[in-house]
């Protein structure tokens, strides 16, 4: 997200007369006020996430501080005096809970700013109070898909088979199944407003986003992000497997990318000239075909996070050490009739 903030400033300001949710008065209101508020929300969101990660990793940094030889000073700084007292454990859980709430609030806020002012306001007639929440849901769905793929890679090639088992991927498969169903609810709830309203500009919105030039993109989006996850994850042998959830996660990521391409590609290639005789747009946009620079940016946007994750995991444990120890303390395998089950206790 931090790498996205410079791109914000190349988006159109309020000086060009574009549609916006913000009040604009030249000389009194900055022309880049949407960019400033969005950048503030993005930076706060990223800093909250990093703080949440650091707080949760403090016990692990303390373990590395006590065991590492060459980097003890770095881990000593990151551990911030952690010794594992009862007070520190209680404060850790309280702070993680509070920051988790703020993290989720900022997730909604960032997607609200981006979806409302840099997307919906650019398409005349698109009035949908649910779409910012829809984009937030899509972000969560994509995050679960990335987590599923990351855990599979760590299990398959990262040497974590002693820590990652079928339960983790099975649980993420069930979560991905539920989120995919929720995607359909968001989609149909927004569609009904435009479909049954049938005002001229609302019919234009449907043509722009779904039934016009972007119809093939919409079909593949619906297929990858909803149909394939739903029908595949209802099958127990796919959901409860090591390879099923990661493959479905790849499908979800492809569908999410096509969905963003469908929305933002059409919004930024739209000619907003209105035909006053029909009160509709004079022309509808053609599909935006990515050029070689766009393709390089796409691959770079994928490669950079992968590089950062690989670099950070050289020094920071990819799996929480203290949470795994706590899991061992509160869980045991017990015989139940002719099988063996895992019995877990609540830590607090």
108-140 per-position pLDDT tens digit: 999 888 888 888 888 888 888 889 899 999 999
pLDDT, mean of residues 49-55: 90
Give the model's confidence band at 71: pLDDT under 50 very low, under 70 low, under 90 confident, else very high: low
CB–CB of 82/61 below 8 Å?
yes
Helices (H), the chain: 5-8, 33-67, 72-79, 86-117, 131-157, 166-197, 200-206, 215-222, 228-233, 236-239, 244-267, 292-312, 321-330
CA 298 to chain centre: 16
Least confident of 76-90, 191-205, 266-280, 291-305: 266-280
Pick the residue with more confidence: 227 or 280? 227
CB–CB of 205/127 below 8 Å?
no
Query: What are 15-45's pLDDT values in tens digits?
Result: 877 777 777 777 787 888 888 888 888 889 9
* C-alpha span between 62 and 316 (Å, rounded): 11
Percent of the chain with pLDDT over 70: 95
How much is the mean pLDDT over the chain? 85
Pick the residue with more confidence: 13 or 265? 265
CB–CB of 271/281 below 8 Å?
yes
Predicted confidence at residue 266, as pLDDT, reads 86
CA 237 to chain centre: 27
**pLDDT of 228 higher than 90:** yes
Predicted confidence at residue 28, as pLDDT, reads 80
Give the model's confidence band at 347: pLDDT under 50 very low, under 70 low, under 90 confident, else very high: low
pTM of the predicted protein model: 0.85
* C-alpha span between 114 and 38 (Å, rounded): 7
**pLDDT of 303 higher than 80:** yes
Count CB atoms within 10 A of the CB of residue 10.
7
Query: In the chain, what are the domain boundaries?
Result: 1-118, 123-317
What is the secondary structure of 2-37 as a DSSP string?
GGGHHHHTTS--GGG----SS---TTTS-TTHHHHH
Predicted confidence at residue 308, as pLDDT, reads 82
Percent of the chain with pLDDT over 90: 24
């Amino acid at each position: 997200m931090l790498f996205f903030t410079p791109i914000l400033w190349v988006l159109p300001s309020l000086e060009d007369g574009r549609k916006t949710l913000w009040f604009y008065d030249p000389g009194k209101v900055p022309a880049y006020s949407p960019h400033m508020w969005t950048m503030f929300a993005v930076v706060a969101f990223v800093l909250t996430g990093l703080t949440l990660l650091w707080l949760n990793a403090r016990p692990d940094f303390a373990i590395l501080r006590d065991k590492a030889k060459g980097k003890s000073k770095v881990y000593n700084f990151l551990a911030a005096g952690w010794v594992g007292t009862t007070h520190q454990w209680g404060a850790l859980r309280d702070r993680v809970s509070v920051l988790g709430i703020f993290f989720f609030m900022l997730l909604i806020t960032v997607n609200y700013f981006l979806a409302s002012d840099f997307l919906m306001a650019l398409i005349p007639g698109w009035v949908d109070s649910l779409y910012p929440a829809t984009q937030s849901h899509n972000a969560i769905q994509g995050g679960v898909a990335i987590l599923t793929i990351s855990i599979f890679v760590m299990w398959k090639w990262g040497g974590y088979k002693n820590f990652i088992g079928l339960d983790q991927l099975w649980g993420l498969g069930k979560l991905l199944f539920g989120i995919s169903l929720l995607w359909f609810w968001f989609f149909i709830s927004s569609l009904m407003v435009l479909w049954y309203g049938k005002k001229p500009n609302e019919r234009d919105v449907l043509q722009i986003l779904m039934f016009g030039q972007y119809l093939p993109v919409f079909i593949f989006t619906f297929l990858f992000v909803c149909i394939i996850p739903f029908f595949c994850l209802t099958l127990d042998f796919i959901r409860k497997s090591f390879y099923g959830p990661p493959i479905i996660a790849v499908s979800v990521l492809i569908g999410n990318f096509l969905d963003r391409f469908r929305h933002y590609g059409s919004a930024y290639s739209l000619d907003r000239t209105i035909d006053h005789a029909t009160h509709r747009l004079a022309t509808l946009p053609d599909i935006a075909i990515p050029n070689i620079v766009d393709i390089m940016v796409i691959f770079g946007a994928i490669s950079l996070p992968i590089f950062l994750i690989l670099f950070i995991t050289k020094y920071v444990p990819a799996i929480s050490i203290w949470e795994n120890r706590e899991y061992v303390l509160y869980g045991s395998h017990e015989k139940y009739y002719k099988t063996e089950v895992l019995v877990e206790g609540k830590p607090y």
